[in-house]
Amino acid sequence: MVPIDPGGTMSTEHPQHPQHPPHPQRPEPSQRPDAYPAAPAAGPGPVEVRDRRPTPWLALVSTATAAALVASVATAGLTGAFAPEQSPSQATTTATLEQQESQTVPVAGSAAGQPDWQAVAAAVRESVVAIDVRTGSGSGEGSGVVVDAEGHVLTNDHVVGDAVDDGLRVTLADGRVFEATLVGADPTTDLAVVALVDPPTDLVPAVLGDSDALEVGAGVMAVGNPLGLDSTVTTGIVSALDRPVTTASDSADEPVVTNAIQIDAAINPGNSGGPLFDASGEVVGITSSIASLSSGGSGSSTGSIGLGFAIPVNLADRVAAELLEDGTASHAFLGVTLGDGTATSDGTTRLGAVVGEVTPGSPADEAGLAPEDVVVAIDGDAVSGAESLTAYVREHTAGEQVSLTVVRQGETRDLTAVLAARDEVTAENSGSQEGGRSGSGSEGVVPGDPWDPFDRG
């Protein structure tokens, strides 16, 4: 474990793992994966994440995907021999895809006002799995949650996205070990689905809840595999909702931007991809990153300091359904470059996302957005900056209509945009956005953009 340096400063570096020799030959499925010993987290090198201020986010990366450690600090945990060097329809859900019958809450006697965490832990334990991963640069570990009886497990892309062939193993709570294959991964949202090979008939799928119903102050429980300690349970509260968090990923052309659930439950490297439960035992999020401190000169980083982040389950559910359907996920597209700023209207100054460029023919163009407009709300939700608007857009699907509250030259106006699939626009306007990088999402924070007050390169 990496100790906290009382005199340290906030850092964007991933926790570093000590080097280990190559793992011995894998044990038989009937054995526990002792060939993958627990170890402190590791990561590729300095990465930058910002929540309007230069706050370092430690991606909860379980080192599974050494090369794709999330920058928040991804909560996957590297344990391998080679640590990387520095360097238009209604959304489908897994429930509708699998045609599951309606399920009751796992623990009816536990509620937000009076949670029974012992009962919740007992009820959900069998739905949470530990994931061991081999990549081209080493190995690592993470967490996941069983979403159906067919053996599909939801986790983070940065945990499994870089796995080599035959490089995935899933360990159930009772110690049974299964080989697994990657069904699909989505680097844009940092989500992935894997499938157990020859799954058992007694799997216990988790019940997915409604992250939109969460409230600040509500109790939550994280369950996962931090530092190889499987079935670890921690509790806390929802500290904030719609917290814009940006994490870097080597497997995506752009950063992962999420309006995350902020929690104070302790999560550490290896928790990545694990479920976040509410007081009734329903999954409300997928833990993915943490903010952490590091000592100035050594480059080492601490673990949990009570600033953890989870991907809302409503987003995870939709993306998982698309991955189960055809292995890929689509993303809504607005078509603007953005920076952080403020706008004043009717004597009131508000934070917002400043429009830099508008892609011709994009939904933003059709809606009438123009350079220097400041978007201060979307569908009535306040927009605090570029990351916030980007995350809100990515929560939608192509074809959905959104209402944008915009301040232009001191006047507030409402514009309506019909979001499109990114490829539909970029295919016609290749090279017209973000400095000519075709295929990248315009509604993101653009490094070096004149509207961006921070250096995010």
Mind telling me the catalytic residues? 158, 190, 272
CA–CA gap between residue 315 and residue 304 (Å, rounded): 24
- Alpha helices (H) in 104-188, listed in sequence order: 117-124, 157-160
**Coil, helix or strand for 257?**
strand
Contact 195, 240 (CB under 8 A): no
Dist. CA 44–CA 251, nearest whole Å: 13
CA atoms within 13 A on the CB side of 329: 32
For residue 319, give the 3-state DSSP assignment.
helix
d(CA 369, CA 106): 46
Minimal CA–CA distance to 60: which of 301, 421, 386? Answer: 301
CA distances for 152 relative to 146, 182, 273, 308, 387, angstroms:
6, 10, 13, 25, 31
Closest CA to 188 of 292, 258, 95: 258
Count Cα neighbours of 354 within 13 Å in the Cβ-side half-sphere. 17
CB 265 within 8 A of CB 234: yes
Q: What's the sign of the alpha-carbon dihedral 378, 381, 382, 387?
A: negative
Three-class SS state of 377:
strand
**Longest CA pairwise span in the chain (Å):** 69
Chain centre distance of CA 435: 26
Counts of helices then strands in the chain (DSSP H, E): 7, 25
- Sorted by sequence, the CB contacts under 8 Å of residue 230 that are 6+ apart come out as 130, 171, 173
Tell me the residue length of the chain.
457
8 Å CB contact between 386 and 339:
yes
Determine the Cα–Cα distance for residues 267 and 279; give it in Å rounded to an integer.
18
Burial string for 26-63 (b: 16+ CB within 10 Å, else e) reads beeeeeebebbebbbbbbbebbbbbbeeeebbbbbbbb
CA–CA gap between residue 180 and residue 208 (Å, rounded): 22
